[in-house]
Structure formats: structure tokens, C-alpha cells
Amino acid sequence: MKSIEPKVYLIGTPSVVPNEIAAYLAEIGASNAWLDRVTSEEATDGEQLVEFSARLCYRSFEAGLNQNVTKVREDSAEYLANILNQRHGSVLEHAYYVFILHGVSRVLTHEWVRHRVGISISQESMRYVRLDELPFWVPEWARNDPELMTEIARKLDADERFMAFLNEHLGVNDSAAGFAHKKAMTSFVRRFCPMGVGTSMVWGANLRALRHVIELRADAAAEEEARLVGRLVYEAVRRHAPNLFADYVVTPDAFTVSTEKRKV
């Protein structure tokens, strides 16, 4: 048994193309004032995309572009807060974030792959990737129970010995064995791995879907590991786009995240 902790890496974030935005603004007769302001305010690309998309809907980059709009908000944080208050969720879909969920169990991935709209998934294949040991996460409350940990270690050690027997008996360790045989036998061996075995997954979501998953999986009623990973995902993306999560409330000791503006 190899003791592990779930980790989250934010590996992909939205990117704007300022020259193209400037060209569009010129096309509709707007100045670069909005673009210059969000750049000077150091709004992240994700925040800029969401704000730009919302302002395009109303042509509200500046007063006078739309004759119905005589006054516009000129503070990005205030503008994005209003988007969340109004639950204008469609504009959140333009900002896309990609994560690695590493050291997470198949218990967790089986739950997270249920979310599909606005989401993309690539998961480590145990049909191809052979496990010689069992990476395993155990929650803190279990780690504080010596008798329980002794039995967990005994069970997983027995599983590892059985997997080692299978790999040897089925010729997976044979350097002369062909790839097709190794793949077939590795696929067979994986059937005996516990669902708690650690794995990795690339998981991407647009901001609307991302908020939905965080609100479900980092909720107090969620499964323990999912709650922990949901909190880690939230922390990673909020560092990149704080104004788009300003409505969230965090309960540190329980790893929960909540908001009154659900289903934005």
C-alpha cells in the first residue's frame, strides 16, 4: 500500500486575444476604453471573457453605443458580481478551465464522470497502465484509528501480493511477451483492484459547469473524498478568477463550499 493524498493541478486557463477584441470594438464604433480598463485592473483572461461576453449582449462597453444604455458599470468586480446576482449563466460558458485530478480514487472518478454537459474527461487507463502497488488515500479520521489502519494495510498488502502473482502467472512480467498479450492480461488483472485505488484524470469544464460541480461535490452532503477534491478545484480556479467566485462561502474545517446563487 502506498499512502497518497489527492492533488489538483490547474493546467489550462482561458486566453483572450486583445487585438481581435480591439478590432471588434472599432467595428461597432467603440473606443478601447473598456479593454484598457480591464487590462489595467489586471482582470484575468477568464474574467475578461465573461465580462466581454456579457457586455456584447447589451452593447454596453460604454455609454451611447446602445441608445437604451445611458450608464454602464466601470468596475469589473462590481460588473461580474451583478452577472452572478442576475444568474446570467450563459456568459460563464465561454471561460474554460482544465485540471489534473491526481491521486484520486475510482470511487471519485465514477461520480465526477456523471457530469458531462460542458465537461471533457481523459482518464488514466488501467487496461494499459499496470499497477505494481496500490496507491490509496485514507481519510484522516481513519488514519487516527490504529486498529482500523492495521486491517486496511493487511487487506491491501494481500491485494498487492495477489496482483504480483497474477502478473507473474499470466506472463505480464515476461519481457518477451507481446504488447497485445500484456494489454489483455493487464485488463484482466485490473478487475481485482479495489475501487479506492489511486488514479489520474484530466478534467476540463466551462465555468458554468464548473460552478455546478463545485456546488454539488464540495457540499456538506457530498462523499468525503469528492468534497476534498471539490474544495481543491475551487481553490485552484479561484486563484485564477477570484471575481467569478466572490459569492462563495467556504467552511474550512469541513472542506465545504456553498453559494446562494446556485445554478447560475
**DSSP string over 159-171:** HHHHHHHHHHHTT
Segment 123-144 shows an average pLDDT of 93
- Cβ atoms 218, 251 nearer than 8 A: no
pLDDT of residue 64: 86
Active site residue 231: no
pLDDT of residue 225: 96
What amino acid occupies position 169?
H
pLDDT digits (tens, 9 = 90+) for 25-56: 999 999 999 999 998 888 899 999 999 999 99
Higher pLDDT among residues 9 and 257, named by residue:
9
Rounded to two decimals, what is the model's pTM?
Answer: 0.91
Segment 115-135 shows an average pLDDT of 92
For the chain, what percent of residues have pLDDT higher than 70?
100
Q: Compute the distance between CA of residue 99 and CA of residue 6 in angstroms, rounded to an integer.
A: 13
C-alpha cell at 32: 478601447
Supply the mean pLDDT for the chain. Answer: 93
Segment 131-155 shows an average pLDDT of 95
Within 10 A of 7 (CB to CB), how many other CB atoms are there?
14
C-alpha cell at 168: 507473474
pLDDT digits (tens, 9 = 90+) for 75-104: 999 999 999 998 889 999 999 999 999 999
Q: Where are the beta strands (DSSP E) in the chain?
A: 2-3, 7-12, 96-105, 119-123, 135-136, 198-206, 249-251, 256-258
Res 242 pLDDT > 80: yes
pLDDT of residue 203: 98
Picking from 40, 29, 76, 39, the residue whose alpha carbon sits closest to that of residue 55 is: 76
* Torsion over CA: 131, 217, 205, 75 (sign): negative
Instruction: List CB contacts of 116: < 8 A, sequence separation 6 or more.
Output: none
CA angle at 68 for the pair 67 and 73, rounded to the nearest 5°: 105
* Torsion over CA: 51, 53, 56, 58 (sign): negative
Q: Which of 217, 227, 238, 239 is catalytic?
A: 217
pLDDT digits (tens, 9 = 90+) for 165-213: 999 999 998 989 999 999 999 999 999 999 999 999 999 999 999 999 9
- Residues in a beta bridge with 101: 8, 201
State the first-to-last Cα distance of the chain, in angstroms, to the nearest integer: 42
pLDDT of residue 157: 96
Res 22 pLDDT > 90: yes
